[in-house]
Structure 1
Amino acid sequence: MDGPNVPVGGRTAPLFRTAQKPLESNPIPSSSPAFSTPIHPIRAPKPPEPPKPSILPILLPPATLRPLAFRTFTKKHNLTLTSSALQLIATFIGKHCGSRWREEGLAEKVLDEAAKQWKNNGGGVIVPGEGEELKNILRIIEGSMSGGKVLQNGGLSRQSSFAFGAGDGDGVASEARPDGLRREESFGMSALGVDDDEETDGTKDPRRWLRVVGAFEQPRLTYNVNQKHFEVVGAAPSLLPDPSHKTHLFRHRYNLIHQRLLRNESFQTSSVASARTSALQRTSSTIATQQQAYKLTPIANLLGRTGSSHLLLGLLAISPTGMLTLNDLTGSITLDIQLARPVPEDGVWFTPGMIVLVDGMYEEEGTAAGPGLDGNRGVGGTVGGKFIAYSVGGPPCERRDVTLGVIGEGKDGSLKAGGGFGWVDFLGVGSERAAGSAMRKLEKSVLRGASESSAEGRGRIVILGEVELDNARTLQAIKKILAIYAAEPADQTPMVVVFMGNLVRYAVMTGGGSGGSIEYKEYFDSLASALSDYPTMLQNTTFVFVPGDNDPWPSAFSAGAATALPRSSVPELFTSRIKRAFATANAEADKANGKKTDGEAIWSTNPTRLTMFGPAQEVVFFRDDISGRLRRNAVRFRPLEEEAAPNPDVQPSEDASRDSNAMDPDQAPNDSMDVDEAVETAESHIPAPKAKEPTNSAGSVDLHIARKLVKTILDQGYLSPFPLSDRPVLWDHAGALQLYPLPTALVLMDPEAPSFAVTYEGCHVMNPGSLTPQGRRGVAQWMEYDARTRRGKTREARY
């Protein structure tokens, strides 16, 4: 009989069901249960976890954190925090460091670690707070904090550091950089798949680290005056842009030179000297005070200051009334140069379209508004009266290492960073701060190894100028030059051969002697046949073609006149036969030796840039009849012999450019024109000729013209300092004509100027001249640039 507690079906009700013991982890029973031995052995209790230090979050105002952030980011790491970034960091520190952020130095450690990670990830000098880059860095720091302190376990910096050969990880390593380039696009050993500590046979070839950057490929940057930094232009470029882009072209040029000028020592005031000037004057009247720095006066500020002396910086221009004027961002004024002297005397050209320094006196006309565009007197219009110029000079040039903030190299080859634009990637090959140190180390190793077995070495660039293919003698000269280099061992042949236009003597398809498109293609077919005779060169060398004004298609519309800069490359319609010659040579080498070769032909733009080892070396190639255009448009000054006795008190602008405009005396002489000795500094006098050579010698005159041309272009920092009516420029691509920072070398192919190789402010400037010079039959002339010594020399051969 079933009891009352037995439910139907033989199942116990949940209320009366006995509790089951949990499954024992130790199945072995106690050996003596009678003596109360526990079933399980007694385990030692776990030590109590230390209590986590409590953090009392606070609301930290950004203004309170600003002084500490300025000392850490700006003074220590050369970075600038925006207001949004400061707000983001202040909120983070107030939440995770609490009220102890100041007393225990917790905030300073967070700021220092955030700045280090920002620089390690290739961030720009401006730290914004709108994007995800800074937020990701703060998330990484948050995961490594305990009690408001950043744990220095060595792993924090490695989570997002920019390391060559490292792949993309979590965090900011794969985020977009402020300069518009992603980390994987930066030029470095990681981008090329090469480890920093090991070298393969491919990495020992200097051509492995070579890159040709066309004018339409480099990043479009603009200088932000408020933030004092370069920014990437977000809008897409156009051949028919808005008219405001034309104004921006000149505004950008002015802002670049203005900021470059203000960073010059001659325009900087010493705070120590100014603080003690009054004390020195009271102590002794005989003590010489410190020389006052030069100050620039905006043109609009001349109003009401008649009879006073000023130093102006502005753009030379011709007004609609035919008067020479000086313009800046505030206004314009008529310029009187009857008493003016150029600085240096006969050492530079000044043409409308150039930005110059003018020292003189303002003279106001009380009755007339003065000639101008609209007759207005004040900001935005033409200032009444005229400015009597005493001296006119170019803005002092700035060396490349100063612009990039490189103040020297350490014992390990690493670069010491200073003030400048080292974090800006001007060409899309990596910035100086991010990749410069490792690339310079690699450059020394590769170029030294490539030159050990030969006096010349692999790191050479052969430059052929004015390669007129419709001239029968040109092909003979090319064959002679290629035969010279093809006779060398394959691993010692030059890494680059550059053919610079004009590639024909007359404009194509304009009724000239060079014919039309069919004849133009036949010229390249003949060149391809000549190149095929030297397969060693095609297999181991990069050939670069830089067009001129006579090459298609722009010459079809300009009829031989100046085309718009920068100009595009030669169309692929004419290049097929030459590309086929390179493909055939590489295929034959692969079949015969079993080793892949990668010789190639690159059809680039004018101008074009060639970079070696990332930001370590930059060579600019530009084809233009620039010396003739400078002579035709130059402003003429009063001859020196007609001038009265000079007054030394009216030429203060000489010292402003004296220390920054001397050419480097570091190049050994090669011949009468390939020299680089010290020239006269930027003083207002006629340069004295050398004692060993007569004044009218051809070598002295050619050298003087070369130095005059080089100083004119590099001081402007621009390849086409002319009005747009004389030399058209594509407004949205004018940045490709900038020489800022100065390149390592500049090739100015000008057939009207003598062949030369001179160095000015660390920039080596060369003109190879025409391949077949006039009046010298049977002579081939070209330039050879050595990347190891960073110097070029003129070579000749008879054919």
Structure 2
Amino acid sequence: MDIQWKKQITKSFSLVGLSTKADAMKLIINKIKSEGHETNIALLIDEILKHLDKNQLNNNIIDQIAIEKCFKLIESLNSSDAIEKDALKVIDAFDSPLFTYDTNTKQFLKCENFEKSLHGSSKSKSDVYRRRYQMVLQRIERAESFSAPVLQSDKNKGDYQAITPLSSLLGSYGRKHILGTISVIEEDQFYIEDLNTKVKIEIPPDIEIGLITINTIIRASGEYLEGTFIADKIELPPKEEREISLKLLQNIDMFGERPQKKTLEQLERYEKEVDNTILFLSDIWLDSERVRERLDYLFSGYEEYPPFAIVLMGNFTEHPLINGTQYDLKKNFNLLATLILKYPNIHKFTQFIFVPGPTDPTGSLLNILPKLPIPNVFVKEFQSKIPKSIFTTNPCRIRYCTQEIIIFRDDLTNKMRRHCIIQPSNNCHISQHLLESIWSNSHLCNLTLEDKPIYWNYDHSMSLYPLPDLLVIGDKALQYEHSYCGTLSMNPSSFSTDYSFISYSTARRECGFSKCDPNNINNESDEDDGEMEEENKDEMIIDENEERLKSNKSKKIKNAQPEINSLEDDYEAIDQLENEELIQEENEDDIVANSDNETSSKPFDANNNIDSSDDEGIESPLVESNHDDFF
């Protein structure tokens, strides 16, 4: 019987120019036996041919992988549970596809067999800078302001800015526009580098927007005089809208895990019809009892309508686990599992995604990006209790239906601000400066490899080209949200500090700032009921105090008149000492603290404004107005 089935299957595929491998044939035969397709083999073959992705076949040969994907697609089309399972895909950094830009064909080519060792060669390090530079350069060459006119009548010569290669500066005169990476080769001397050479550069003292650090790609305007480029203007490279990038790439999947066309159509309908919620929380100190209490309160609020997914970002302990204390993390995750099991709906329907923080134990090399997932030895028991849990890398990528989401946990605001070489302006908030630097360089971290080490062979996992639909940066800074041409960027802040988190609506593509603070809710009714009583008490206390002050004042004037002159002298001496101390403290303040205190907060709108406050511990009224108490 198997021989007859094989002949029928081979004949059906050969009629459309396809052939099957032995492993693929075995898989089809097992499908016929297990699901009882003996009488309708022709119908099963028609289903396979209908949903088979022929673009992924090698020389029209059907292998086991192609058949498995085809069967999975057929199953998802016939099952609503399978659709929800395909709606969310988590891609860790080490599975991110690698693409290189071919300057001859002006296309991105996928590298199938690149070096995947964590310890790269010297060539791997040079490729890091080459890929970053080419990614920005190909984007600038397509920008309208940098494109040369085809005909003289189309544009005026002054309408575009031609990028001059650094090797062409020697012997050239006049104002030039260059593109390169800022570096320090000699002490106290900045250089700008491209793929061919380097030149000295004098940088102006300020910049309109962005955080410029060593290793940042910039475009500079100025003149080349006596071996040094005198820059009178420094700017970040122009950004590119997500839709423009996707139109250029066409069917190239630089994100990873793109579903097949049939599945994608079904996921589009599911995304529009079902408005799911994804929660983002950062700094979840599982060893803190008060944090677990807030998580308990959070889960109780969502028990009736559980969220589709909850993304929990580290650090998962208040202090780093060192010197053999790493196994305490296992106990902490078991406490979290006990907490989740109290709420059956959340346990059954919610997908938990864990992203490690900077101090979480993920191996001997703690400070290198991308950060490995939390080891299985700490979470094996947790995953047995909570099957719908995924432990992934930092950063990681999430594909929800048609949306591309990138998660990155790091305190970028403080680190980038600390390593700035140009003072950012005060016309926008520090978070907007940070996001502008990230977007323009198409990279999550522009710091040097010494300040923030990265595995050379996996630097492409930090790439932001094309820009995602949603970028979530888990930072200790206060919550912020910023949108640019189809890309929404936000920070949920530290849950363990002020119990802040963000809820994201997948259908509306909007985020909501929230705080999990039950004390505010309990105090609302008490404040409303006792408001009148407190006002009356305050009035009575004020009247009594005024009478006492009047009587005491007259007594003190009579009794203390001889001592007034000596007290005044003492007060003058104290004021002088205090003034001297204040002056000394102001001189000792660093640049970072001064700029953060002077940064002004502006309300958010779609035109490059952000509703947030500075990175200090005091929240501005604007932030408080956007923080909705949970429930």
Is the TM value for this pair above 0.5?
yes
Shift of 1:185: 8.3
Q: Which residue of 2 aligns with 1:571?
A: 375
Distance 1:463 1:686, change over 3 A: closer
Q: Which residue of 1 aligns with 2:296?
A: 479
Are 2:89 and 1:211 equivalent residues in the alignment?
yes
Alpha-carbon separation, structure 2, partners of 1:792 and 1:476: 24
Distance 1:184 1:223, change over 3 A: farther
Is the Cα contact below 8 Å between 1:204 and 1:449 reproduced in 2?
no
CA distance 1:469–1:686, change in 2 (3 Å): closer
Does structure 1 conserve the Cα–Cα contact (< 8 Å) formed by 2:255 and 2:404? no
Q: What letter corresponds to residue 500 of structure 1 in structure 2?
A: M
Task: Please point out which of 454, 477, 483 is paired with 1:759.
Answer: 483
1:580 aligns with 2:384: yes
For 1:311, the equivalent position in structure 2 comes to 177
Q: Secondary structure at the match of 1:509?
A: coil
- Deviation for aligned residue 1:265: 1.1
Report the alpha carbon displacement of residue 183 of structure 1 after superposing the two structures with TM: 6.0
Q: Which residue of 2 aligns with 1:399?
A: 241
Partner of 1:534: 343
Q: Deviations over 1:132-153 (max 9, x none)?
A: xxxx9x989xxxxxxxxxxxxx
- d(CA) in 2 for partners of 1:165, 1:261: 43
Mark the CA change 1:786 to 1:176 in structure 2 (over 3 Å): closer, same or farther: farther
Report the alpha carbon displacement of residue 518 of structure 1 after superposing the two structures with TM. 2.5
Q: Is the 1:341–1:390 Cα contact (8 Å) retained in structure 2?
A: no
Count of matched residue pairs:
473
Alpha-carbon offset, residue 522 of structure 1 = 1.4
1:735 aligns with 2:457: no
2:413·2:431 contact (CA, 8 Å) conserved in 1?
no
Indicate yes or no: 2:133 matched with 1:261: no
CA distance in 1, matches of 2:135, 2:68: 27
1:271 is paired with a residue whose SS is coil
- Partner deviation per Cα, 1:314-361 (whole Å, 9 max, x = no partner): 0011113331110001211111124x642xx2x311111110111111
> Is contact 2:166-2:198 (8 Å) kept?
yes
Task: State how 1:471-550 maps to structure 2 within 5 Å.
Answer: 471-488=288-305, 493-510=306-323, 516-550=325-359
Query: Where do residues 629-640 of structure 1 align in structure 2 (5 Å cutoff)?
Result: 629-637=415-423
User: Who is 2:270 aligned against?
Assistant: 446
Aligned to 2:50: 166
CA distance in 1, matches of 2:126, 2:271: 44
Contact 2:362-2:371 within 8 A present in 1 as well? no
Name the structure 1 match of 2:506: 787
Say if 2:254 is the partner of 1:426. yes
Kindly state the Cα deviation for residue 235 of structure 1 after the two structures are TM-superposed: 3.0
Counterpart of 2:533? none
Max radius of gyration: which structure? 1
Q: Distance in 1 between matches of 2:59 and 2:478?
A: 47
Cα root mean square deviation, aligned: 2.9
Question: Does the aligned pair in 2 maintain the 1:502–1:549 contact within 8 Å?
Answer: yes
The answer for the alignment partner of 1:606 in structure 2 is: 394
Q: 2:194 aligns with which of 328, 331, 346?
A: 328
SS in 1 for 2:438: helix
Q: Does 1:192 align with 2:73?
A: yes
Decide whether aligned partners of structure 1 residues 539 and 324 sit closer, same or farther in structure 2, where only a CA change above 3 A counts.
Answer: same
Shift of residue 427, structure 1, vs aligned partner: 3.1
1:757·1:793 contact (CA, 8 Å) conserved in 2? Answer: no
Tell me the alpha carbon deviations over residues 170-218 of structure 1, each in whole angstroms, 9 at most, x when there is no partner.
Answer: x8662279xxx986688xx8753257xx66432564x542100000112
SS of residue matched to 1:772: helix
**1:294 corresponds to:** 161
Counterparts of 2:426 and 2:327, CA distance in 1: 53
Residue 224 of structure 1 pairs with residue 102 of structure 2: yes
CA distance in 1, matches of 2:125, 2:289: 43
- Report the equivalent of 1:620: 406
2:500 maps to a residue whose letter is Q
The answer to whether 1:466 aligns with 2:283 is: yes
* Sequence identity percentage: 26
Equivalent residue letter for 1:257: V
CA–CA separation in structure 2 for the residues paired with 1:326 and 1:720: 19
Q: Distance in 1 between matches of 2:145 and 2:365?
A: 47
Is the CA contact (8 Å cut-off) linking 1:174 and 1:182 kept in structure 2? no
Deviation at 1:229, TM superposition (A): 2.0
Residue 464 to residue 202, structure 1, CA distance change in 2 (3 Å): same
Q: Which has the higher contact order (CA 8 A, sep 6+)?
A: 2
Q: Distance in 1 between matches of 2:216 and 2:293?
A: 41
Question: In structure 2, what is the Cα distance between the partners aligned to 1:210 and 1:221?
Answer: 24
Matches within 5 A, 1:264-413: 264-272=143-151, 274-275=152-153, 289=156, 291-305=158-172, 307-338=173-204, 341-342=206-207, 345=208, 347-364=209-226, 385-405=227-247
> Do residues 201 (structure 1) and 10 (structure 2) align?
no
Deviation (angstroms), 1:706: 2.4
Q: Does 1:704 align with 2:528?
A: no
Aligned counterparts of 2:74 and 2:106: Cα–Cα separation in 1: 35
Q: Distance in 2 between matches of 1:768 and 1:314?
A: 33
In 2 relative to 1, CA 686–427 (structure 1 residues): closer, same or farther, beyond 3 Å?
Answer: closer
User: 2:343 & 2:436 partners in 1: Cα distance?
Assistant: 39
Shift of 1:505: 2.3
Q: Which moved more, 1:731-740 or 1:314-323?
A: 314-323
Name the CA distance, whole Å, in 2 between partners of 1:361 and 1:526: 63
Written as runs of structure 1 = structure 2, the 5 A alignment for 1:133-144 is none
Distance 1:176 1:771 in 2: 53
Structure 1 residue 448, shift from structure 2 partner: 3.6
SS of alignment partner, residue 404 of structure 1: helix
8 Å CA contact 1:176–1:183 kept in 2: the answer is no
Following the alignment from structure 2 to structure 1, what is the Cα–Cα distance between the partners of residues 343 and 471?
28
Secondary structure, in 3 states, of the residue corresponding to 1:245?
Answer: helix
Structure-2 separation of matches of 1:185 and 1:723: 43
Distance 2:362 2:82 in 1: 38
> Matched residue of 2:136: which SS?
helix
Shift of 1:230: 2.2
Asked whether the 8 Å contact 1:755–1:766 carries over to 2, the reply is yes
Q: Is the 8 A contact 1:528 1:577 kept in 2?
A: no
Report the residue type matching 2:397 in the other structure. Answer: R
- Structure 1, gaps ≥5 residues long: 1-135, 141-162, 278-288, 365-384, 406-419, 451-456, 584-599, 640-684, 688-702, 775-779
